[in-house]
Structure 1
């Protein structure tokens, strides 16, 4: 009996032993198999795996960021990825908490793979949630791409596990969070958390509120599906789910959850594109600047990298001189005035009032030539020609009606949908007056605002630097500067307003040159240079250039940064040469900067994505005029705003500031601070200019049609004081309201030892007795 029992016990023990043995064999085999799978995956058996170097430096496309002088992002350059990285320290904690609570509650407890989550996913076949950790999701975004199907999905998952464990060894938990939030595509060109915060909420990532962070974290599930612009209610429901997860894991209280879930969606959509946003014209100019810089500065590339910088991929940071606040003021000023001016232009150029609208005094043949030229220069013509279309086919396409979106001042969006032929659209856009404006700090050359046109999306020609138009009377200060510099005239010296002719041999024409004043009249009276410049008296300007000679004028102009070839003939005195706003502002800045020319600068520094400085600007300066001459010119041009063509900047004239008695103007600007300036109007009112200066800001404004034949019929609206000066005034009003901008409202600094007499009080009193004080001020502007 005992022997039989012993045999049974031995038999049972042997059976259990075999079970244990096979258990450990199977377990070891499983471990070995898993290890082998991981090892094969790491060797690339299931597809290419990232190298150690790539894990250390994962390659993502980064947009080049354009930064204003006050630290705001003006825009970005990118192709597909509008991405700018944000450090973990700049992520709000509510965003990190929302991410962990929703996507990976045990994130801080695992090393890349969540065993519990993986087991749950296997047991329930993914019905109770997947097993992807934040690290695995990052691995997928960086190295494995879109979700695979079938058997490849399993091999992809294995690769993600391997990469995730490697990422955990190479990076801290904080770095992995920031990398993940920086790489995710939130849709609508919102690549990465910074772009998403700016595009969906109009703020920086660090300023996101808890409910806003919950929206963005909710989008991580599927940004295309949970798109707050298209599916607001669905996104709100997803946001509330995230807030519920945050409460579940103790990141917010249940009371906070309930109050936040009750909030409405507060999406502040700010699309970022190359044709929208702030400083669009400047950004397009800057693009050309960067391409030139890249051509001259090869990239110190590592093996296998590009040897050229790429502004769309390399994440450069470009620090500019533009002040975002002043830029906004400038764009608003241009829009406010041009909308009103355009309404008046439309009123005067109806078919009933002008059968050749918007052109004046053109024959049908001349209008046809303008239209033909515009058609051949159009994007439609260029694209169709490149596609191999015949000229006949191209011309036919211009006569077929098509749906299009055109510019419209009266629409809130500045656009309207319509149906018209491309040829009609050319005529339509010819009716719009154009504008350009640039503002610069004269002491440094830093350009603070740049407005190249009305709307970059519809008017892509940049009139700040591409456009060059006749300067008109804004050229006259250069004549006066040469006379004061070469002949030692003072603002108080007098010349007669009488007909003055320059001999034919001096002018290079068969006939003598005898310029007239704009009204065709000559008073015969003596006027100080200050009064003559203030009221653009052509006869006095002609006498000055005859006495000083055209050559010294051209020499000074060249030193002032005006690069265009200028003929050395007396007629340039009336502003016949063409210049752009960019160069004119730089030239006028010399007067304010005590005779020192500083070339306008827009970029101060360029850095790579790691903060290494690649470029720093070096100021380009030169002495052009003495301090005395420069101050005398400022004093001369102060007369323009005190008693001349720019007096509408003041609400009243005071007797002690001008040769005129006190007169109420009715204009709303009411500036009381010292302002130097010059208006300019060209023949037939085709161009209106105003150059305005205070001690630390010089601003130039031009307004005119794309074609010189599109202009106002009379000088009432067609003069510089009506077309351009109001933009300067509106811009400066906005600047002065913001005291943080530091725009000066004080006096221009006077040299310690001023050798040129600028106190014309006694002479003004003598002339005052001879002048008819009933002159109409509207007749004074040219």
Structure 2
């Protein structure tokens, strides 16, 4: 009785003067430091898991330290509320911070059992304990939050009184249900409902509610997955308590108790991180991309904490249909344990939206199974991989610069099998290139002869492009490449850079070629469109970042040339049912092959590079990759099918849109078809001929059955391919055809030059 009197004195003091005089209480384990406690406890926001969504709003990944989804009390079913109150603190709405009857009963029990501090806590006190434990940042604070002492009890009571004073009972119960741990990694009632029953907290029935309510006392011991018998027994205790309090009848409680707990469960696993995502390496790219954005925090540590605990809603650009097509294609052409890496990136022209990222090695740590955490399809800053040499795909930057400088597309250059160039043959931004004095000796692997910009590109002739580079100089192509997102390091800015000697990744090449598809508009790759906070408020919008880096007509001319790769060049076997263009790439040492292709609506870069599990680069020739032995490595033969299969799978999803023909009056030497102007007036015919990029000339009259004064024919004739700027002569009709010799009346009409 003396001990009871001491405790009652302490409790009375707490109730009467809760924030003063505690140091004078005669209890051995109430420390002198109690008087230094703040008068109230700040309830910091609870951590919540972050969800990453695809472009259509479907979740693709979750990130969390604690699997928790906060919900308001109105989103928790009434049976759940009744069950937790019944078993934990049935007079919760009737008493203050302290349940005197319950505390006294627990104290007497504890004294009879040796003084251990157990039971008797109100829901408010339990919420305080959980809050102190949740907000503890040091081992000492965590120990203080769980120590079995009266000092902890009184400390909790002090804060509980403050909470009761400053908040409603509903607020306290809501926080308690959101902070409580329900076992097996589920924090808060919403995550517990999803995990154990695959439903939301607002839909929990009485039996499910009794199960969850029983878990908070001992989440590990009563775990229904690991200890189903104990969990069922505890659930039945809750049901009995509900019957005692007349929440349900005893008859109903007995009926519910007969239901095996295993038959009530419908477990839903909440994946954490990117590895289990349907787009693991895209997810990884998103995380690393956001980790560099100060909107999530000033330091990397703060940003990581925000990502894993902020309950963010991250809306991304990935299209799961395209992602599946990319995954299926890459995995069918390069196996995880092959001595090679396959990769594919898809980017939308005009926005920079990253639609898919796929690679042949799955995410994971099992090297024997070919797994890796390196993201080979994105820049090193976001994936920790160095990239791969891209071969002749770099020639497009010199091609675009040549067109931009006014070099006619019809320009003919004799390209022998081998050539020697002196260093001084190449001009840099600072003057003649100053190399090692040995010069450069490129050689062809695709034939030799005389080529124009169309045929030289479509056959990817090295000595043709080396000569073209002497005409364009190195400065403008390198600056254009940088503007298109390909930044060649200074040490690699040598004449041979156009053969793809720099290391790049599929995403970088896809977004670069997307610039051509978007008619010269370059957009930085964008994996995220918007980030919302846990309340649904916009934390940051991420608009497309785009810049016109070349005239639209220049891009049109590049597209006109590169679509020839698909329509008769090395990519002719990769035709899809939409207009497309592309460029192959193969390194001289045969260690990597590329194909970068695009439609006006989607650009994709496919790559295969020889590499073993130790990170050593290998030649592709002589290896079996994807079940196919490689005798001779080529971009069209091996990377091309990766691109082709993926694009064919999603081609139906892409809207039909053709490339815009290059304007002959803006681009010199465009190969254009002579239009049919027969029957038009000279004025209209002149307009159409000029619109096609030609110079129109009046050739005078010819006898023809065409109405007098209208165009009867042209020279060259309709359908002939000419370079822009060439002259097309039109002939107007006399409306009369002389009679043929020996006959009467008008004979068949006869055109003049070029025949109508």
- With the shorter chain as reference, the TM-score category is 0.5 to 0.7
| Alignment check: 8 A CA contact 2:566 2:572 kept | yes
Deviation digits for residues 52-104 of structure 1 (CA, Å, limit 9, x no counterpart)? 785343365566665655555655666x6455544445556665455445544
- 2:168 aligned with 1:172: yes
**Which residue number in structure 2 is paired with residue 574 of structure 1?**
499
* Equivalent of 2:581 in 653, 676, 685: 676
Question: 1 or 2, which has the higher helix percentage?
Answer: 1
| Alignment check: 8 A CA contact 1:240 1:261 kept | no
Distance in 1 (alpha carbons) for counterparts of 2:270 and 2:351: 33
TM-score of the superposition, structure 1-length normalised? 0.64
| Alignment check: 8 A CA contact 1:65 1:316 kept | no
Report the Cα offset of residue 141 of structure 1: 0.7
- 2:738 aligned with 1:744: no
Query: Residue 312 of structure 1 aligns to a residue in which SS?
Result: helix
Report the Cα offset of residue 272 of structure 1: 1.6
| Alignment check: 8 A CA contact 2:317 2:526 kept | no
Distance in 2 (alpha carbons) for counterparts of 1:632 and 1:494: 17
Return closer, same or farther for 1:436/1:321 CA change in 2, 3 Å cut-off: farther
| Alignment check: 8 A CA contact 1:294 1:308 kept | no
Return closer, same or farther for 1:678/1:198 CA change in 2, 3 Å cut-off: farther
| Alignment check: 8 A CA contact 1:321 1:601 kept | no
Name structure 1 gaps, 5 residues minimum. Answer: 1-26, 300-306, 344-408, 410-428, 651-670, 738-742, 768-782
Return closer, same or farther for 1:648/1:29 CA change in 2, 3 Å cut-off: same
**Which residue number in structure 1 is paired with residue 547 of structure 2?**
622
Report the Cα offset of residue 239 of structure 1: 5.8
Distance in 2 (alpha carbons) for counterparts of 1:144 and 1:297: 24
Distance in 2 (alpha carbons) for counterparts of 1:261 and 1:461: 43
| Alignment check: 8 A CA contact 2:517 2:598 kept | yes
- 2:222 aligned with 1:220: no
Mapping 1:127-276, distance limit 5 Å: 131-143=120-132, 152-186=148-182, 189-193=185-189, 196=192, 216-227=212-223, 230-231=226-227, 234-235=230-231, 249-250=247-248, 263=263, 265-273=265-273
TM-score of the superposition, structure 2-length normalised? 0.66
* Equivalent of 1:465 in 379, 382, 395: 379
| Alignment check: 8 A CA contact 1:186 1:219 kept | yes
Distance in 2 (alpha carbons) for counterparts of 1:57 and 1:91: 21
Deviation digits for residues 650-676 of structure 1 (CA, Å, limit 9, x no counterpart)? 4xxxxxxxxxxxxxxxxxxxx422333
| Alignment check: 8 A CA contact 2:557 2:661 kept | no
Distance in 2 (alpha carbons) for counterparts of 1:690 and 1:759: 27
CA RMSD of aligned residues (A): 5.0
| Alignment check: 8 A CA contact 1:102 1:245 kept | yes
* Equivalent of 1:480 in 377, 399, 405: 399
Deviation digits for residues 635-694 of structure 1 (CA, Å, limit 9, x no counterpart)? 4333344444344444xxxxxxxxxxxxxxxxxxxx422333333222343112232334
- 2:316 aligned with 1:322: yes
Distance in 1 (alpha carbons) for counterparts of 2:45 and 2:53: 23
Distance in 1 (alpha carbons) for counterparts of 2:293 and 2:440: 49
Return closer, same or farther for 1:152/1:261 CA change in 2, 3 Å cut-off: closer
| Alignment check: 8 A CA contact 1:77 1:311 kept | no
Return closer, same or farther for 1:76/1:638 CA change in 2, 3 Å cut-off: same
Report the Cα offset of residue 596 of structure 1: 1.7
Distance in 1 (alpha carbons) for counterparts of 2:654 and 2:105: 69
* Equivalent of 2:43 in 47, 57, 60: 57
Report the Cα offset of residue 471 of structure 1: 0.9
| Alignment check: 8 A CA contact 1:594 1:631 kept | yes
**Which residue number in structure 2 is paired with residue 441 of structure 1?**
348
| Alignment check: 8 A CA contact 1:98 1:242 kept | yes
Query: Residue 263 of structure 2 aligns to a residue in which SS?
Result: coil
- 2:634 aligned with 1:719: yes
Report the Cα offset of residue 572 of structure 1: 3.0
| Alignment check: 8 A CA contact 1:140 1:160 kept | yes
Name structure 2 gaps, 5 residues minimum. Answer: 24-29, 135-141, 366-371, 381-385, 427-434, 623-628, 676-715, 722-756
Distance in 2 (alpha carbons) for counterparts of 1:744 and 1:469: 29
**Which residue number in structure 1 is paired with residue 740 of structure 2?**
none
Distance in 2 (alpha carbons) for counterparts of 1:233 and 1:692: 60
Larger radius of gyration: 2
How many positions carry a matched residue from both structures?
Answer: 615
Report the Cα offset of residue 486 of structure 1: 1.7
**Which residue number in structure 1 is paired with residue 604 of structure 2?**
699
Mapping 1:212-611, distance limit 5 Å: 216-227=212-223, 230-231=226-227, 234-235=230-231, 249-250=247-248, 263=263, 265-273=265-273, 277=277, 280-281=280-281, 292-294=292-294, 298=298, 309=302, 311-312=304-305, 315-316=309-310, 320=314, 322-323=316-317, 325-326=319-320, 330=323, 332=324, 336-342=328-334, 432-451=339-358, 454-458=361-365, 459-463=372-376, 464-466=378-380, 467-487=386-406, 489-490=408-409, 499=417, 501=419, 503-505=421-423, 506=425, 510=438, 513-518=441-446, 521-522=447-448, 524=449, 529-530=453-454, 533-538=457-462, 540-565=464-489, 569-604=494-529
Report the Cα offset of residue 608 of structure 1: 6.4
Distance in 1 (alpha carbons) for counterparts of 2:565 and 2:231: 59
Return closer, same or farther for 1:237/1:565 CA change in 2, 3 Å cut-off: same
Return closer, same or farther for 1:296/1:104 CA change in 2, 3 Å cut-off: closer
